[in-house]
Amino acid sequence: MTPGARIQSSIELLESIFISWQSPKRFPADKIIDQYFKSHRFVGSKDRASIGELVYWCLRNKATLEWWLVTKLLGNFHARGMVLTALMLRSDYTALQLQAISQDSQYSLPKLTTPELARCEALLNVLTLPLSQREGEISAMPDHVRLNYPEWLDAKLRESFGDDFEAQVAALNDQAHTDLRVNTLKTTREDLLVGLKAEGFNVSPAPLSEIGIRLAKRAPIFTSQYFKAGHFEVQDVGSQMVAALVGAKAGMKVIDFCAGAGGKTLAIAAAMQNKGRIMAWDNSEKRLRQIKDRIKRAGVDNIQVHAIEGEADQFIKRHKSSADRVLVDAPCSGTGTWRRNPDLKWRFTQKDLDEVMVVQAAILASAARLVKPGGRLIYATCSILNDENEKQVENFLRTSSNFTVVSPEKIWDKTRPLSEPHADLFLKVTPHRDGVDGFFAAVFERLP
């Protein structure tokens, strides 16, 4: 593809994402991008990478782009205006260079109009000012614009991060690493590192996890023979930490109440050495179907998959007071995953947060019934908001006097594959401090 064609494809994709946000489903950006490339099979892998990178950059920096569009009169918030502004801000092209690569053909960037050319040149003039003058422009930006987060979350983010607010929020706008979890049922980290390096992947041991591997940069890791043989799964180290916090051991009965596609379920199975019983539940049969191929590839045979209708499903009562461990990886705002899902910042609303918090409380109460005396309930989210984390814990303890909080420090020991967490009572990790996705986890133990 020509440079102009790649830019035009980015504009088309971004426009499709914005249109989707107007529908009730508000499809995730990655699904829209996947569908776009399936219908444009002529686009090569390098072109796909370039197009996807530009689209995600625009989504990460949407608030800043919109601010420049308004203040420099570059137009409204349509996709074309945002992409042209992004190319200026990133110094990818000058206005004249864009005009030179554009042409009025079917698959290329249409020629810049005279007003567009003038506005792009005006923005470029600002960006080439001396640093002291440019700082004046930037200082006029409100924090939510400069740091690219929804204005309605301002107070909640400040409450969560306190004095570390700016650095923490800025890190949420970085691009995430790709982490792998070694399947210890089939190999060791040392052997897998050697094998992946021999295949040409730039990998190293991941921080915080003795079963984690980190890629130095994005790469087609699913083409590896070791993936096909089930030697690893792609899983952020923060998610690995939550799975390890379950403290599952061989012979236990473990229920993964919100199993999803099974990432943590498989990690728990490996920790149990394939011995015992894991019940993977979710209210989405579509998500659960993804587990089955992963189970086979990983060589796991102690997982039972079951679709439930919801937290009030009568099936749940059959397992009352029977589980050694129950993991509730609750649906949440996903604020801890903004690095991977920057579109989630803009399509998740206050109404969504209010609704998901009700669901979290209901799931937590239902799952608590499954824990046997002396067993543990682990509540986890990929959120960094206190509303979904500490406040949910407080509400649960207020109505569940037969549970007490167990500090993660009492769970980690030398046999665990992770370092000690930062928090005294809860596991809390963030991209800025730990270099992993934002996760929260609380462990409750049921009293005898």
pLDDT, position 415: 42
State the Cα–Cα distance between residues 209 and 240, nearest whole angstrom. Answer: 8
pTM, full prediction? 0.92
* Mean of pLDDT values over 146-163: 96
Every domain of the chain and the residues it spans: 3-141, 178-234, 237-446
Longest dimension (CA), the chain: 76
Which segments of 212-349 does DSSP mark as H helices, in order?
Answer: 225-228, 237-245, 263-271, 285-298, 344-347
CATH class of the domain whose range is 237-446: alpha beta
Q: Is 335 a residue whose pLDDT tops 70?
A: yes
Q: 231-267 as b/e, with b when 16 or more CB fall inside 10 Å?
A: bbbebbbbbbbbbbbbbbeeebbbbbbbbbbbbbbbb
Q: Is 284 a residue whose pLDDT tops 90?
A: no
Strand pairing category for 212-215 and 232-234: unpaired
Residue 272 contacts residue 252 (beta carbons within 8 Å): yes
* Mean of pLDDT values over 368-393: 97
pLDDT, position 310: 82
Residue pLDDT, tens place only, 299-311: 999 999 999 988 8
Q: Is 132 a residue whose pLDDT tops 80?
A: no
Residue pLDDT, tens place only, 165-193: 999 999 999 999 999 999 999 999 999 99
* Domains 178-234 and 237-446 agree in fold: no
* Mean of pLDDT values over 66-75: 74
* Mean of pLDDT values over 325-350: 97
- Sequence-ordered strand ranges (E) for 252-402: 253-256, 277-282, 303-307, 323-329, 371-381
CA dihedral 143, 149, 155, 157 (to 10 degrees): -110
Phi and psi angles of residue 445, each rounded to the nearest 5 degrees, phi first: -115, 135
Q: How far is CA 427 from CA 39, 380, 413, in A?
A: 42, 9, 15
Q: Is 74 a residue whose pLDDT tops 60?
A: no
pLDDT, position 419: 47
Out of 134-138, 347-351, 365-369, pick the least confident.
134-138
Q: Is 391 a residue whose pLDDT tops 50?
A: yes
The percent of residues above 90 in pLDDT, for the chain, comes to 73
Q: Quote the radius of gyration of the chain (alpha carbons, Å).
A: 24
Residue 38 contacts residue 30 (beta carbons within 8 Å): no
Structure tokens at 200: 């040409």
Residue pLDDT, tens place only, 10-24: 999 999 999 999 888
Average pLDDT in the chain: 91
- Sequence-ordered strand ranges (E) for 124-186: 178-182
CATH number for the segment(s) 178-234: 3.30.70.1170
Q: How far is CA 100 from CA 10, 110, 149, 217, 386, in A?
A: 18, 11, 34, 32, 50
Give the residue, 108 or 333, on which the prediction is more confident: 333
State the Cα–Cα distance between residues 39 and 378, nearest whole angstrom. Answer: 42
Structure tokens at 34: 């996947």
Phi-psi region at 435: left, alpha or beta (left = phi > 0; alpha = psi -120 to 50): left
Q: Of 214, 247, 236, whose CA–CA distance to 415 is shortest?
A: 247
Residue pLDDT, tens place only, 184-238: 999 999 999 999 999 999 999 999 999 999 999 999 999 999 999 999 999 999 9
DSSP class of residue 419?
Answer: P
